[in-house]
Amino acid sequence: MATSRRGRRRPSKSGEGFGAPQELVVAKAKPKGKRIYSLPALYDLAFGYRNFDEEIEFLIGQHQLLHDGTSPSRVLELAAGPARHSIYALQSSKIASATALDNSMEMLEYSKEIAAEELDVDTYENDFEYLQEDMSEFHLSSEPFDSAWILLGSLQHLTTNDKVISCFKSVQKSLVDGGTLILELPHPRETFSMVECTRNGWQVPLDDENGENSGELDIVWGDDEDEFDPITQVRQFTVAMELKGVEEKDAQSVREVVPLRLFTAQEINAFALIAGFEVTSFHGALANGVDVDDENEAFRLVSVLRKI
């Protein structure tokens, strides 16, 4: 199956399509189960609309603002999945080394395959590392990192306060003094508008080796029938992905319910103080110039924390 990822930008509010296409070929990955994170190639395709160049510029820039223009040299990416942000940052020489961390062996194997293809041999062998670890509690023996990233809402998988605090403390111990932790989460307005759950979905067109359309990947990330507990702020997210229009041997699909927590800015402030951080700024996207309270442009809660 040859596939491509298109339109790396914010999905439309209706969840239907992504603007001008961009092509990026990704590696094949055979499914090893029916859980969403055991199908890393589908996951990678689903979030291919991300503008990694712009997001890396933002992540590096936020660290520079707190360190007199100095870029982070060593970066730790937690719950990294395909680790596209780490790979892009290395590929563009924005950072010197990256360590990715995830508890999914399928994601780890897939990401290392991608990194081996996209990084030069020296960078891949000496400057990129992927560890199978649980982000809620880990202990790394390597030198401390300058910056840590938890992106794509991955912190939402930690549905209890104890796990979030444990995660923050593990990161805090892994950073140099003054090191940064940058979080990307859904915007808090999603929490306070969660009277009824709504369906969120989009489609990713697929191309073959000749650039011809060969099908599409349909994604559902939250459905109408999802249950939301306003006490715990945990939504039982329906997550589904299905390849359509491809040859039968390449057909893949997955559907499961994943509990995900919705966070507020006040909670991030509190967790930061408990774990030895301070929040230096909030933003509405992984992009420069988007205020967190911008009703039109802010669709994420991006928090920049500094170790104190």
Instruction: Answer yes or no: is pLDDT of 25 > 90.
Output: no
Instruction: Answer yes or no: is pLDDT of 36 > 60.
Output: yes
Q: What pLDDT, on the 0 to 100 scale, is given for residue 2?
A: 33
Torsions phi, psi of 190, nearest 5?
-65, -35
Euclidean distance between CA atoms 19 and 51, whole angstroms: 12
Reduced to 3 states (helix: H, G, I; strand: E, B; else coil), residue 63 is: helix
Among residues 44, 195, 166, the alpha carbon closest in space to that of 107 is found at 44
Q: What is the DSSP letter of 72?
A: P
Q: What pLDDT, on the 0 to 100 scale, is given for residue 306?
A: 98
Tokens of 277: 């951080």
- Compute the Cα dihedral for 22, 25, 29, 30 and give only its sign: positive
> Where residue 205 falls among pLDDT bands split at 50, 70, 90?
confident
DSSP code string of 218-237: EEEES-TT--EETTTTEEEE
Q: What pLDDT, on the 0 to 100 scale, is given for residue 249?
A: 52
> Where residue 246 falls among pLDDT bands split at 50, 70, 90?
low
Dihedral of the alpha carbons of 184, 185, 188, 189, in degrees to the nearest 10: 100
Q: Note whether 50 and 265 are within 8 A (CB).
A: no
Instruction: Answer yes or no: is pLDDT of 154 > 90.
Output: yes
* β partners of residue 205: 216
> What's the whole-number mean pLDDT along residues 138-152?
96
Q: What is the DSSP letter of 101?
A: E
- Higher pLDDT: 110 or 39? It is 110
- Higher pLDDT: 200 or 209? It is 200
pLDDT in tens, 47-59: 888 999 999 999 9
> Where residue 13 falls among pLDDT bands split at 50, 70, 90?
very low
List, in sequence order, the alpha helices (H) in the chain.
40-46, 52-65, 84-91, 105-118, 121-127, 161-174, 189-192, 265-275
Euclidean distance between CA atoms 209 and 53, whole angstroms: 24
Euclidean distance between CA atoms 6 and 49, whole angstroms: 6
Among residues 51, 61, 59, 57, the alpha carbon closest in space to that of 24 is found at 51
